[in-house]
Copies of this chain bind each other. A is one copy, B any other.
Amino acid sequence: MRLWKQKTLSMKTPPKLNDILTAHERIKSYIHRTPVMTCATLDRMTGASLFFKCENFQKGGAFKARGAFNAVFSLSNEEASSGVITHSSGNHAGALAIAAQVRKIPAYIVMPSTAPAVKKAAVEGYGGKITFCEPTLTARIETTQLLIAETNALLIHPYDDYRIIAGAATAALELLEDIPGLDYIFAPVGGGGLVSGTALIAHYMNPHIKIVGCEPQNANDAYRSFKEDRLVPIENPKTIADGLRTMLSDKTFGIIKKYVDDIITVTEEEIITALRTVWERVKIIIEPSSAVAVAPILYGKFSAPGKRIGIILSGGNVDLKNLPF
């Protein structure tokens, strides 16, 4: 993982309030201010008041655009001149391609050859330059290093980067501006960028709000790390929540252990049922990773009645040809 340490610029400490407010100013003309939706049926089912922050409607279909725009637009002209690079087969790849396209710099995306055609098409649609590699960590890192040597592009890690975390925090910032008096915010945990940004901004704006990270039982590195107070790695977890197969990093874990109140895990069955329930009742397309943050409230893993709960729906990119129901 040493690779990711190279060329990390600028923000050396976790984002402060002002860093997040600055990030929001920087990106707000490029991203959507996504709506907050409610659903009377789900409120009735849970006894709570649920407020869904709809990042599934965000540019590129996920909250990742926030971090990508913040990172790309905080680069100096010199830093940006050779473009940016990342390795990802997921939403960060598409988001980085979008942000780079707007800044008119190249985005190099290293993607495993096994990535779904739909993700490849999305990145290419945004003008990203894809290099395929074998689907192993070693191949990814080597391919990325070769490409950096060749292009001098700047590496933008999907979450182990405070600029990315500050960008991700702006989703909860908008939620807090729009919905007063929240008791809780639930967010899914993959690499931890979203939940750590969420926890930071809630801490700055209203420290009474409790932050709950939600994770698949099958990819419970954050849960274990949180409980054992050490970064517990996980390898190739099998979960339908494809956005949450990554593991925490030093930076995200550092924030999570300080500012997140609890981490709850859910089963694959709970994820799938929550996914269907949101589709059927809220009438919006969310991806399985987002359903992970809804499932604990629906299935009694959290005492919801009477609470005002914000839920960050992280994204809506799904392959409709490969649904679990």
Binding site for B on A (CB under 8 A): 35, 37, 40, 56-57, 59, 61, 276, 279-280, 283-286, 316, 320-321, 323, 325
6 A-B pairs (CB sep. < 8 Å): A61-B283, A279-B285, A283-B285, A284-B284, A284-B285, A320-B323
* Residue with the highest number of chain B CB atoms closer than 10 Å, among A280, A283, A320, A325: A283
Residues in B with CB closer than 8 Å to A35 are 35
Inter-subunit contact B280/A320 (CB<8 Å): yes
- Smallest CB separation, A28 vs chain B (Å): 16
Residues in B with CB closer than 8 Å to A325 are 320-321
Inter-subunit contact B57/A276 (CB<8 Å): no
Residues in B with CB closer than 8 Å to A276 are 320
Tell me which of B59, B280, B283 contacts A284 (CB under 8 A).
B283
Residues in B with CB closer than 8 Å to A316 are 283
Bound together, the chains give a CA A59 to CA B39 distance in angstroms of 10
Residues in B with CB closer than 8 Å to A323 are 320, 323
Residues in B with CB closer than 8 Å to A57 are 37, 283
Residues in B with CB closer than 8 Å to A61 are 283
Bound together, the chains give a CA A323 to CA B56 distance in angstroms of 21
Residues in B with CB closer than 8 Å to A321 are 325
Residue of B at shortest CB range from A287? B283
Bound together, the chains give a CA A321 to CA B325 distance in angstroms of 6
Bound together, the chains give a CA A57 to CA B57 distance in angstroms of 15
Inter-subunit contact B56/A283 (CB<8 Å): yes
Knowing A284-B284, A284-B285, A285-B285 touch, does A279 contact B320 (C-beta < 8 A)? yes
Residue of B at shortest CB range from A319? B280
Residues in B with CB closer than 8 Å to A59 are 40
- Smallest CB separation, A283 vs chain B (Å): 4
Bound together, the chains give a CA A193 to CA B28 distance in angstroms of 41
- Smallest CB separation, A255 vs chain B (Å): 29
Bound together, the chains give a CA A57 to CA B41 distance in angstroms of 12
Bound together, the chains give a CA A304 to CA B40 distance in angstroms of 36
* Residue with the highest number of chain B CB atoms closer than 10 Å, among A61, A276, A284, A325: A284
Bound together, the chains give a CA A43 to CA B325 distance in angstroms of 30
User: 10 tightest CB-CB pairs across the interface, nearest first?
Assistant: A283-B316, A283-B285, A56-B283, A284-B284, A279-B285, A320-B325, A57-B283, A276-B320, A279-B320, A280-B320
List 10 other contacts, CB 8 Å, given A37-B57, A276-B320, A321-B325.
A35-B35, A40-B59, A61-B283, A279-B285, A279-B320, A280-B285, A280-B320, A285-B285, A320-B323, A323-B323
Residue of B at shortest CB range from A118? B280
Residue of B at shortest CB range from A316? B283
Bound together, the chains give a CA A202 to CA B4 distance in angstroms of 58
Residue of B at shortest CB range from A285? B283
Residue of B at shortest CB range from A281? B61
Bound together, the chains give a CA A320 to CA B37 distance in angstroms of 21
- Smallest CB separation, A166 vs chain B (Å): 25
Bound together, the chains give a CA A285 to CA B56 distance in angstroms of 12
